[in-house]
Structure 1
């Protein structure tokens, strides 16, 4: 506080606060007995300067709100591109941060790609943690401070067409079949399948992420793997596999909903509200739509040599 006041007061002496310094007077023109008046006037001036320092103080003192970003490597939404965040969701959220910084002292202290279970644990343990891209479910509703949608999302269970065809019209049809189904440990789909009784059959094979799942599917260690519809083929191609071998079996309709960005509970409420406003503005002006189309097109073409 002392240093801030001193800086502020120095600025005031340079007439940066709008407080006018008293004009110099000729000592000879002062009447006898005006010493007390001078002291009184000086105190008024000092108090005015001090009040200006206090008024300016919060602007000078305010510490930047440091946020910690956690997410999972999930291209082309967000992924680690040689040490730098890439993807249409990552780029969108960083653009939001830049807009927020025009209104609040915000800085990104860290940007970490983590296994999903660890990312969720971090966002449920510490304040000022920004997490994306996640489904907004009833079970999660009170666990986060929701910001806005960041991506469409819909998954199918895929198999390889080199394997015997799986006959199923609904998710429930898979429960009684002896299949090895890859599912991300701790994810929204994992909980959904457990509620349908899959956990009791021993069908579920925990995986860290879709990279591991694709590898296990092509190596014959899984029979079915959930993948995002518009990303499945490109994701396999990018890992060096033939994406054309992927065949959709059944659509996971109950979980087809947009993905969101959110802050952890306990985050600065004023900051959260500004994030919501700036996300809405960027969506309104078409920035997100153009970003999404550009990244998806580039990803599909490059991944499979199209």
Structure 2
């Protein structure tokens, strides 16, 4: 079985050999696969490619994918991994206090990952490609664009910002939240919606069992302590 994902610390960590090497979400998914004794192939790709391949191929999985109303009918949702909240993160804190109601926030040049939920969210409130919305193929690349001054801000969640900052070896708090549109979403493990019913139900049932037994929460707590603690 093929599982598609991307490199986005602290949720999924991909090493220099392009192999999954850990991460909060990855360890949870690995535990589920082990309990079901499934033969798996983890495939890290740029997010837009991972998303497309999961949609095209039955009995494949993708993680960590934000569940939103726009995506609800596009996947079979197996289990929640983590809730995250999204912010505009900027290097120059002098642009703090932007006001969406007065459209000042749309004066910012913002980078997101192509095909990501962040892209969907910003386009819904009026951001336009190549005007005030720009794309990168990965989260580390997006953050590098902000650090190099090519854009004013990155739109991302708090856990990814911390994880990627540490991955890039950045000074603490060099990227700070400058605005939020108060958007929170749940990250999930999801399957191609045309997968067999038996396949989906087997995954859901075992994942729900892991949740009831506090296995998921325990793994997440342990991985957060290991990856994000000072």
TM-score by length of 2: 0.90
User: Which of 47, 51, 60 matches 1:129?
Assistant: 60
Greater radius of gyration (CA): 1
Q: Secondary structure at the match of 1:90?
A: helix
Q: Secondary structure at the match of 2:9?
A: coil
Provide the C-alpha distance between the structure 1 equivalents of 2:88 and 2:116, rounded to a whole number of angstroms: 15
Deviation string, structure 1 residues 109-152 (Cα, Å, up to 9, x no partner): x2111111001100111111111111222222222111110122
Preserved CA contact (<8 Å) 1:171 1:250: no
Q: 1:223 to 1:68 in 2, by over 3 A?
A: same
Q: Secondary structure at the match of 1:186?
A: coil
Provide the C-alpha distance between the structure 1 equivalents of 2:173 and 2:164, rounded to a whole number of angstroms: 11
Preserved CA contact (<8 Å) 1:127 1:265: yes
Q: What value does the CA root-mean-square deviation take over the aligned residues?
A: 2.0
Preserved CA contact (<8 Å) 1:144 1:262: yes
2:205 match = 277
For 1:128-277, what aligned pairs fall within 5 Å after superposition? 128-161=59-92, 164-170=94-100, 173-177=103-107, 179-199=108-128, 202-254=131-183, 256-277=184-205
Q: Which has the higher contact order (CA 8 A, sep 6+)?
A: 2
Provide the C-alpha distance between the structure 1 equivalents of 2:106 and 2:9, rounded to a whole number of angstroms: 33
Provide the C-alpha distance between the structure 1 equivalents of 2:89 and 2:29, rounded to a whole number of angstroms: 30
What residue ranges of structure 1 are gaps of 5+ in the alignment? 1-66
1:76 match = 10
1:86 match = 22
User: Which of 211, 227, 230 matches 1:299?
Assistant: 227
2:34 match = 98
Structure 1 or 2: larger strand share? Answer: 2
Provide the C-alpha distance between the structure 2 equivalents of 1:125 and 1:167, rounded to a whole number of angstroms: 42
Number of positions where the alignment pairs a residue of Structure 1 with one of Structure 2 = 228
What residue ranges of structure 2 are gaps of 5+ in the alignment? none
Q: 1:176 to 1:142 in 2, by over 3 A?
A: closer
Q: Secondary structure at the match of 1:154?
A: strand
Report deviation, 1:231.
4.1
TM-score by length of 1: 0.69
